[in-house]
């Protein structure tokens, strides 16, 4: 039986496509596409149509152009990154945050009243905004006495623009009971696109706790990059699936270096790896596993749990 050869996105030769694919993987780290030519080609075709370019060689030249290349890279990165997300995704981890992790951090930080949280690979912002909702509810009336910094980073400029707008369709809020939607959001009138049936704008008091920056997780691998001030909590979920195993280990090691001594790291359910135990301490929590810095790992105190979340619809 003849080997199936996926269709190329242009009439150019295979070497131009191979070179373009290699550049994309090297820049983004998305090893996910190494054996998914048909998917990558489909997404490249969209950019070819948008830029009126006919082949891979010409598109490669556009990416290398000093005046237009970076803008096109931003469009391409948005195209090849799967940005599907929703509020309070992975209920088990948010239950662990509500019952164990945030109460422990609040108790540990009660002397300086600061919390630094990083949502790495935040896509359109549902994850860091979900954290803002939890933090605000956990602190209650004490919130004005605290300095809260929640950072969301992503490689996609398009996703970050959506995150900063903080406006979402019903699908992004699908696990929220109606009363919670009204508590955290205001209704928006119908509009084209995701708001055909109306949408939801996050209330300002939650938006104010979060800021967004463009960031590439591959920068964590750079040995010369100083860790900077540590984070109390880092979430990096559903991003590592794009990377090859060696890159995953290097990125997670970099995330661990950016934790404060008693900080916490949460990964996606499919992303934990036994090799992480060489530099992180896994902590079993109901329904999930969290990580602490190995040398400084301590058992969390027995904090008072936060009120339970309402059941999803």
Give pLDDT tens digits along the chain (313 positions). 444 444 455 544 678 888 898 888 888 777 767 777 888 888 898 889 889 988 898 998 999 888 888 888 878 877 777 666 889 988 999 999 999 999 999 999 999 999 999 999 999 999 999 999 999 999 999 999 999 999 999 988 888 999 999 999 888 998 899 999 999 999 998 766 555 567 899 999 999 999 999 998 988 887 665 666 799 999 999 888 778 888 889 999 999 999 998 899 999 876 667 788 888 999 999 989 999 987 544 444 434 444 444 333 3
Nearest to residue 180, comparing CAs of 120, 105, 94? 94
Task: Assess whether 32 and 167 both reside in one domain.
Answer: no
| Distance in angstroms (rounded) separating the CA atoms of residues 24 and 244 | 14
* Residues 9 and 41: beta-carbon distance below 8 Å: yes
Could you tell me which residues come within 8 angstroms of residue 252 by beta carbon, excluding any fewer than 6 positions away? Answer: 236, 240, 265, 267, 273, 276, 279, 280
pLDDT at 77: 79
Nearest to residue 237, comparing CAs of 255, 225, 250, 219? 255
pLDDT at 6: 44
Task: Assess whether 30 and 175 both reside in one domain.
Answer: no
Task: Assess whether 143 and 280 both reside in one domain.
Answer: yes
Task: Assess whether 197 and 280 both reside in one domain.
Answer: yes
Residue 143 maps to a domain? yes
Task: Assess whether 119 and 234 both reside in one domain.
Answer: yes
Here the CATH number for the domain that contains residue 180 is 3.40.50.150
Residue 6 maps to a domain? no
Task: Assess whether 195 and 239 both reside in one domain.
Answer: yes
Nearest to residue 308, comparing CAs of 103, 12, 99, 145? 99
Residue 303 maps to a domain? no
| Distance in angstroms (rounded) separating the CA atoms of residues 69 and 53 | 14
Task: Assess whether 35 and 141 both reside in one domain.
Answer: no
* Residues 107 and 303: beta-carbon distance below 8 Å: yes
Nearest to residue 50, comparing CAs of 19, 75, 82, 14? 75
| Distance in angstroms (rounded) separating the CA atoms of residues 253 and 294 | 11
- pTM of the predicted model as reported, rounded to 2 decimal places: 0.74
Nearest to residue 156, comparing CAs of 79, 92, 55, 42? 79
- The residue range of the domain holding 244 is 91-296
Question: In angstroms, how far apart are the furthest CA atoms of the chain?
Answer: 70
Residue 86 maps to a domain? no
Task: Assess whether 156 and 51 both reside in one domain.
Answer: no
Residue 146 maps to a domain? yes
Task: Assess whether 174 and 48 both reside in one domain.
Answer: no
pLDDT at 309: 41
End of a domain among 30, 56, 80?
80
pLDDT at 306: 44
pLDDT at 300: 42
| Residue 289 bridge partners (DSSP) | 284
Helix or strand holding residue 74 (H, E): helix 69-80
| Distance in angstroms (rounded) separating the CA atoms of residues 93 and 286 | 9
pLDDT at 27: 81
End of a domain among 36, 60, 80?
80
Distances (CA, A) of 303 to 42, 101, 111, 248: 50, 9, 16, 32
Count structural domains, the chain: 2
């Amino acid at each position: 039986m003849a080997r199936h050869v996926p269709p190329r996105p242009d009439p150019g030769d295979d070497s131009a496509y191979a070179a373009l694919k290699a550049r994309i993987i090297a820049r983004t780290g998305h090893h996910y596409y190494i054996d998914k030519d048909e998917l990558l080609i489909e997404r490249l075709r969209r950019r070819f149509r948008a830029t009126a370019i006919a082949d891979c060689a010409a598109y490669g030249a556009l990416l290398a152009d000093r005046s237009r290349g970076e803008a096109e890279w931003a469009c391409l990165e948005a195209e090849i990154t799967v940005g599907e997300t929703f509020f309070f995704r992975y209920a088990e981890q948010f239950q662990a945050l509500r019952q164990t992790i945030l109460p422990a951090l609040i108790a540990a930080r009660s002397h300086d009243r600061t919390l630094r949280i990083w949502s790495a690979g935040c896509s359109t912002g549902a994850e860091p905004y979900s954290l803002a909702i939890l933090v605000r509810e956990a602190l209650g009336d004490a919130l004005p006495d605290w300095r809260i910094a929640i950072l969301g980073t992503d490689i996609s400029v398009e996703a970050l623009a959506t995150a900063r707008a903080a406006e979402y369709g019903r699908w992004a809020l699908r696990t929220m009971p109606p009363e919670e939607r009204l508590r955290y959001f205001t209704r928006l009138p119908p509009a084209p696109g995701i708001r055909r049936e109306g949408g939801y704008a996050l209330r300002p008091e939650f938006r104010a706790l979060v800021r967004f920056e463009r960031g590439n997780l591959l920068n964590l691998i750079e040995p010369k990059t100083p860790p900077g001030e540590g984070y109390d909590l880092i979430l990096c979920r559903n991003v590592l699936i794009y990377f090859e195993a060696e890159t995953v280990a290097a990125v997670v090691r970099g995330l661990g270096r950016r934790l404060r001594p008693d900080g916490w790291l949460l990964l996606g359910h499919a992303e934990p790896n036994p090799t992480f135990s060489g530099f992180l301490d896994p902590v079993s929590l109901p329904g999930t596993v969290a990580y602490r810095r190995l040398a400084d790992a301590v058992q969390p105190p027995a904090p008072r749990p936060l009120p339970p979340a309402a059941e999803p619809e």
